[in-house]
Structure 1
Amino acid sequence: MSPKSNGRNKKLGPRRKVPGRVSKAKSSTKAKTADAKRVVDANALKWQKVNVPDTLDDFGGFYGLEEIDGVDVEVVDGKVQFVARDESRLKNTAGDGDSADVVEIDEDAEMEDVTEFRNLDDIAEGELSALSDDGSASEDENSDGSGGSDMNDDDEQELESEIFNQDIGLDEAEAPELPSWTGIMKLSATVLQGLSRLGFSTPTEIQRQSIPKALEGHDIMGKASTGSGKTLAYGIPILEGIISDGSDSRPIGLIFTPTRELAHQVTDHIREVAALLVKRNPYSIMCLTGGLSIQKQERLLKYKGSARIVVATPGRFLELLEKDQTLIDRFAKIDTLVLDEADRLLQDGHFEEFERILKHLSRARKFTNGKKHGWKTMIFSATFSLDYFNKLSNTSWKKMKTAPSENEMEEVLKHLMTKIPFKGKPLIIDTNPEQKVASQVKESLIECLPTERDLYVYYFVTLYPGTTLVFCNAIDSVKKLHAYLHNLKISAFQIHSSMLQKNRLKSLEKFQEQAKKNQVLNKPTVLIASDVAARGLDIPGIQHVIHYHLPRSADVYIHRSGRTARAENEGVAVTICSPQEAMGPLRKLRRVLAGKAGAKGKRWQNDIALLPVEPDIVSQLRERSRLASALADSEIATQSLSKDDNWLKKAADDLGIDVDSEDESKDTFLAKNKTKKLNKQLDKSTLKSYKFELNALLNTPIRKDARKSYLTGGLSNLADDLTKKKGHSSIIGHDNVDALTLLKNKPKRAKR
């Protein structure tokens, strides 16, 4: 007797039915009775998805779990069969019993007459193609119940018509008219289709200058402001290389980025333009970064036609290369190598992995092609200046007083050519030789005490609701500010390098979704980030950037500020600093950004405007800020202490020793750290009291000029404004102000 299941079956991943010895079900009256067994394919069943905890999602190649009730599993001759007696467990069968996924059989039928279900791994080489030629064995695996014993001639013609061709866009009647593009460069219909669909009717300056030269095969060193379209400046030439390439599997382009988030963003952007190519093969453009399943990446790399364009971080790509020699030989055949945000990739401490990759690929290319290298190299960034990487706190004024060289880009290029094997001297394309921060970014400054940074962040997002990105130098500050704003009932999200890659991407998605909802309600949405988000990330709709801490170097400031005012839009960058920072690091930062003007003695104070601060509103927010800060400190301290205890216990268990409180107190550092955290913890009664006070304050409206009585009195009728929903959404009696408009209309500081 064949073993049967307990009535609940689970399905791991998709299953495929392969016809072995196939014959039609016998036309027997017995098969039509209520007791007839129905052997069905796994894909014909109504599987129910099981929610998997985040800790198991995409773990080691595990992608999902499904289950079903009321279906038996029989193992016949070592083969698994799904047997259903209830048609409600099946997908649409159209009521005729002739579905290709459902076969009625007689229990007394010989085994030779029963459809055999096998996994793909059980098929001998050549057996599948032999079966596909047999008309009696040809069934539609994804039948909708209308019968599928033979394949449509139309489907065969469709497959033949989609053979990889010199131009992927075979389904369009003609290329769209984009004279601004086609007038200066020759592009395929596929790329023009993508540009037209995305609304890119005119190339940006960096694209106008770079793409024609790249299509001619030149090495390029490109510099342009943040948000100026550098991704397509190198992405379009690579796509044109794929379209003109005769093979359907050789890798064409390899793109390196310094951060995982930037790699995913670049991948998505190129895929959008190359939608017709991706439609042919969804894995032709791949993203290879750490933090995601390496087993899945290795499996996808084995698919035919995959990874023709790879966007990667150096660490994960090096790991994949050194695990599989065939990948080194494969990627040594690339036509184009791109370094996005090249200045960051080539900084000391970031270059070692990239250097090892170059050695592997150059050695393999020399062996196969008889030459050391030969690929085209393109490097792009918004900052190519050796001065930008100096730490602001350590840079001496003696170095700062020297005027920038007239050939600064040439000096940087000499430095880069010692690290990168160019074919020859690259073409230098600099679209903003004088400009450091994009002109659409309006910079401003808030001076406050170091302990009041949280308060002024709260003040800014309250007075100027919108989408705001806050940058901190430390991960602890990111966590604290996230908890602080959450206590104040402000939609806040965080992203930093200690988060799992999957959680970072989810946090970005949630931020963008919430920002769309809050935009309608005129409420603030805040993303708090470490510098992991400073480079290259194109987060739509960022109106304000706040430097919670002054950045450590000038290049970081430029890239942080560049997260707003992208694609010809305008935005605001606010720096919060103490008076001590204003006299030291901030002064040096403005001197570096001023360039030649700074060397001539131009006062940095004339270059940045102070953001107007309204003391009466700050005073009403101060007590809220104090309570929210205390609650955030207590929450983080409690979580940290719990994590420390769990870590110590786990370490002790692994070593097979016992740890008591006396041993821990002997370690001075651990004892001080624990005491500091314990002092920030609040007892239950205080915690409850603070939450009650804070909620009461949050329910009390904020009023301009602290006005508390007679809403109908004074110069303006506040009751009428409230009724007609005029003025500010959160502050009674205040006009609905916009930070960008305020700064554009505010004159710069008068010269002293």
Structure 2
Amino acid sequence: MKGIPKKKLKKNHESRDESNVANNEANNEENNEENNEENNEENNKENNEESNDENIDENKDEDKDEDKDEDKDENKDEPFEITPDMVIWKAMFLPDEIVRAVWELGFKNPTAIQLACLPAAMKGRKDVVGAAETGSGKTLAFGIPILNGILKDKQFELKKMKQKEEADDMTDSDDENGNGDEPNADKKKVSSDEDLADNTEEIGEMEDFGGGIGCVRVIDVAELSSQKTKVVKGQKKLRALIITPTRELAVQIEKHLKAVAKYTDITICLVIGGMAAPKQERILRKGPDIVIGTPGRLWEMIEGGNSHLSQVNDIRYLALDETDRLLEKGHFAEVRTLLEHINKDESKKRWRQNFVFSATLTLTHDLPNRLGNIKSRKKKEDVKLDKLLSLVGVRPKAKVVDLTTQVRSLKPASLSEMKVFSATVEDKDYYLYYFLRHNPGRTLVFCNSINNVRRLTSVFTLLETNPLPLHAQMHQKQRLKHLERFSSLDNALLIATDVAARGLDIPHVQHVVHFQVPRTSENYVHRSGRTARASREGLSLILIEPEEATLYRKLCVNLKKDKTDLPDYNVDMRLFSAIKQRVNLAKAIESLEHRTKRERSDKSWMKQMAEEADLLLSDSDNDSDSGSAAQNHSQLLTELKMKRKELSKLIARPLKRTAN
């Protein structure tokens, strides 16, 4: 290597220090401004407390990440030997670092989806389109090939860097000896060409674009290397992007991949909504290899000019999980824009490996009659799949693995499905409470609307079932805390919208209740898939009111079931009188509580308006209004107190059967 004068080095260090100080000051000012704006926008005490808790939690999370990185470095140096029991994983072409992590996580054998996908993705470097039942191990089916590919990419880049350094050293020694034009230069060039050809042959074995890549197609490697040089000097590469429809699924995937990448130097980060943008900016400045995110926040940060995410066109690996939900019209418009942005350079797209996974990849909704005749609708699954693969940019000859076609229905064998026809909408509350009293354990109740989640949470809190709500309007930290609490309790109730239906691996959920018939067959499959995971027993119960009968029949047709395929859930009607008494009392209390809250808010609003207008309410008005209002309020509170005592006594008693 050529020497650099000390003065020049000193100037470079000084200039770097000055620029670092300036950048730090600018970042501090920017973060302070953002924090001030966020604090000013918060209008109530609860939000302030949540933001303070979030900042504390984020600082703790950063400290934890640093501790984990230190532990990772220490564990790397520990000796490890591949035993005969691990041969099955080595046969899947996994490097030793990943085999060790997978083995320590307790995965003794690959799952069916992993056995089908890993060889093609690891050895053949093919794009993979996979569909399998929920809980089948899809995350590692695309996660392991991505980690393996990044490790190989880094090894190749390190090898080329060493060769370049050696070549520069040889050039320096030749210049010193005056032999710059001697045959050594030609030998060096020939050696470099041979290495390039060897690497091209290796890539040729891995990639298949239909025409094959042989060792003579050096121009392709030149294209790839020129692509790499466009990255800003000194900036770490963004190598892989994983897109998920929900924040919770993104958090889960990050947790799994970090565990598998424990003994590697691969870095992973989250970019999701509901978390502080400044913190995510700081993490991205560190240059993580893999970014896992939701479409909205990813596109927001790309449009905002984030330097690390600006490399999204150059990624070598792209994965979409729960793809059918990501590409639904009206749900995730950002993902379409994001994919179009990623795929705008055709020359780079052909070098990328793509993974498209879901539990219901080829399942489709019925098309309206005006969009085609019956004959054309029979081909709708193929049409949907082709459009999806084209949008993602999946290459020809991709490996398609659809394990859902091997069974009659898209459900695990260990899942029991039942139904209850409800005479009225109100009866659903009775059936749900009956089910919870007779089926202890972890139960996940799904609703179609946030209002229903809130109403059921209020009523069943009064019934002392300790429900935990989960919906999209909750703060992200609160959503994660409720998931953690639900997972930690043996007997727990989570009432959620479909935000919890996709991909979440909540351990040992015994029951899933569809309080409302899901709007699509995909949602039914994903909801039911939260139980009966990893070959464990599980029960899925669907409650059907008269207005939902048509939707239920459509669901059965899409799932290729007859209406009689779902047996009726057995209900002891002799207990229903006691069930109704408790639920009706809880509903009455909930209604009274709602009235008292509304009256309080009306009073506070009136006072606030008077203060803002600099008006004084007369004593006579106050006396006349407050007299009757106070009396009514006092009566409400007394009635509430009595009903609560009555409900507590009822709940403390066992349910009694009545005569038929």
| TM-score normalised according to structure 2 size | 0.70
Alignment CA distance shift 1:409-1:585 (3 Å) = closer
Write the distance in 1 (CA, Å) between the matches of 2:477 and 2:299: 21
| 2:561 aligned with 1:587 | no
Write the distance in 2 (CA, Å) between the matches of 1:649 and 1:171: 68
| 2:378 aligned with 1:410 | no
What's 1:465 paired with? 440
Matches within 5 A, 1:526-537: 526-537=493-504
More strand by share: 1
What's 1:626 paired with? 584
| 2:603 aligned with 1:695 | no
Write the distance in 2 (CA, Å) between the matches of 1:627 and 1:492: 18
Write the distance in 1 (CA, Å) between the matches of 2:448 and 2:530: 16
Write the distance in 2 (CA, Å) between the matches of 1:639 and 1:347: 39
What's 1:388 paired with? 365
Write the distance in 2 (CA, Å) between the matches of 1:562 and 1:471: 12
Provide Cα deviations, 1:116-158, integer angstroms capped at 9, x if missing partner: xxxxxxxxxxxxxxxxxxxxxxxxxx9xxxxxxxxxxxxxxx9
Alignment CA distance shift 1:310-1:610 (3 Å) = same
What's 1:206 paired with? 113
Greater shift in the superposed pair: 378-387 or 54-63: 54-63
Shift of 1:494: 0.8
Shift of 1:475: 0.9
Alignment CA distance shift 1:636-1:508 (3 Å) = farther
What's 1:334 paired with? 315
1:480/1:636 contact within 8 Å kept: no
Letter in 2 for 1:464: N
| 2:394 aligned with 1:422 | yes
Report % sequence identity.
34
2:111/2:136 contact within 8 Å kept: yes
Write the distance in 1 (CA, Å) between the matches of 2:633 and 2:145: 56
Write the distance in 1 (CA, Å) between the matches of 2:354 and 2:519: 30
Write the distance in 1 (CA, Å) between the matches of 2:635 and 2:430: 21
Residue of 101, 110, 135 corresponding to 1:227: 135
1:315/1:353 contact within 8 Å kept: yes
Alignment CA distance shift 1:398-1:254 (3 Å) = closer
Residue of 247, 253, 271 corresponding to 1:288: 271
Letter in 1 for 2:585: L
1:61/1:296 contact within 8 Å kept: no
Provide Cα deviations, 1:50-99, integer angstroms capped at 9, x if missing partner: xx9333233599848xxxxxxxxxxxxxxxxxxxxxxxxxxxxxxxxxxx
Matches within 5 A, 1:257-272: 257-272=244-259
Letter in 2 for 1:430: D
Taking only aligned residues, the RMSD between alpha carbons, in angstroms, comes to 3.6
Shift of 1:643: 6.5
Secondary structure of the residue aligned to 1:356 is helix
Write the distance in 1 (CA, Å) between the matches of 2:610 and 2:448: 35
Provide Cα deviations, 1:519-574, integer angstroms capped at 9, x if missing partner: xxxxxx21000111111111111000000011111111111111101111120000
Write the distance in 2 (CA, Å) between the matches of 1:568 and 1:680: 55
Write the distance in 1 (CA, Å) between the matches of 2:297 and 2:603: 32
| 2:583 aligned with 1:606 | no
Alignment CA distance shift 1:704-1:61 (3 Å) = closer
| 2:205 aligned with 1:297 | no
What's 1:486 paired with? 461
What's 2:175 paired with? none
Residue of 227, 236, 243 corresponding to 1:256: 243
Write the distance in 1 (CA, Å) between the matches of 2:511 and 2:119: 35
| 2:402 aligned with 1:444 | no
What's 2:505 paired with? 538
Letter in 2 for 1:571: G
Provide Cα deviations, 1:648-707, integer angstroms capped at 9, x if missing partner: 998x799x879999xxxxxxxxxxxxxxxxx99981122112111111211222245679
Provide Cα deviations, 1:217-260, integer angstroms capped at 9, x if missing partner: 21121111111111011000011123223259433221000011
Secondary structure of the residue aligned to 2:296 is helix
What's 1:345 paired with? 326
Alignment CA distance shift 1:637-1:426 (3 Å) = farther
More helix by share: 2
Write the distance in 2 (CA, Å) between the matches of 1:227 and 1:62: 30
Write the distance in 1 (CA, Å) between the matches of 2:468 and 2:268: 30
What's 2:485 paired with? 510
Alignment CA distance shift 1:554-1:302 (3 Å) = same
2:359/2:526 contact within 8 Å kept: yes
Alignment CA distance shift 1:388-1:493 (3 Å) = same
Residue of 217, 228, 242 corresponding to 2:150: 242
1:318/1:357 contact within 8 Å kept: yes
> In the comparison of the two structures, how many residue pairs are matched?
508
Alignment CA distance shift 1:689-1:706 (3 Å) = farther
Write the distance in 2 (CA, Å) between the matches of 1:649 and 1:378: 58
2:117/2:399 contact within 8 Å kept: no
Letter in 1 for 2:273: G
| 2:516 aligned with 1:563 | no
Letter in 1 for 2:531: T
Secondary structure of the residue aligned to 2:49 is coil
What's 1:684 paired with? 637
Write the distance in 2 (CA, Å) between the matches of 1:398 and 1:573: 34
Secondary structure of the residue aligned to 1:353 is helix
2:515/2:542 contact within 8 Å kept: yes
Provide Cα deviations, 1:571-596, integer angstroms capped at 9, x if missing partner: 000011124433x11111111111xx
Alignment CA distance shift 1:218-1:192 (3 Å) = same
Write the distance in 1 (CA, Å) between the matches of 2:310 and 2:452: 45
What's 2:337 paired with? 356
1:169/1:189 contact within 8 Å kept: no
Write the distance in 1 (CA, Å) between the matches of 2:479 and 2:280: 19
Shift of 1:504: 0.4
Residue of 41, 53, 64 corresponding to 1:57: 53
Write the distance in 2 (CA, Å) between the matches of 1:573 and 1:641: 41
Residue of 427, 452, 463 corresponding to 1:477: 452
1:226/1:563 contact within 8 Å kept: yes
Shift of 1:360: 3.6
Secondary structure of the residue aligned to 1:432 is helix
Write the distance in 1 (CA, Å) between the matches of 2:610 and 2:254: 44
2:130/2:361 contact within 8 Å kept: no
Residue ranges of structure 2 left out of the alignment (5+ in a row): 1-47, 61-66, 159-235, 618-631
Shift of 1:401: 8.0
| 2:542 aligned with 1:575 | yes
Secondary structure of the residue aligned to 1:610 is coil
Shift of 1:647: 8.4
| 2:281 aligned with 1:320 | no
Provide Cα deviations, 1:701-723, integer angstroms capped at 9, x if missing partner: 2245679xxxxxxxxxxxxxxxx
Letter in 2 for 1:558: V
1:493/1:527 contact within 8 Å kept: yes
Provide Cα deviations, 1:253-299, integer angstroms capped at 9, x if missing partner: 2100001111101111111222223xx57xx1111100001000101
| TM-score normalised according to structure 1 size | 0.62
Letter in 1 for 2:393: P
Shift of 1:397: 13
Matches within 5 A, 1:5-154: 53-59=49-55, 63=59
Letter in 1 for 2:365: Y
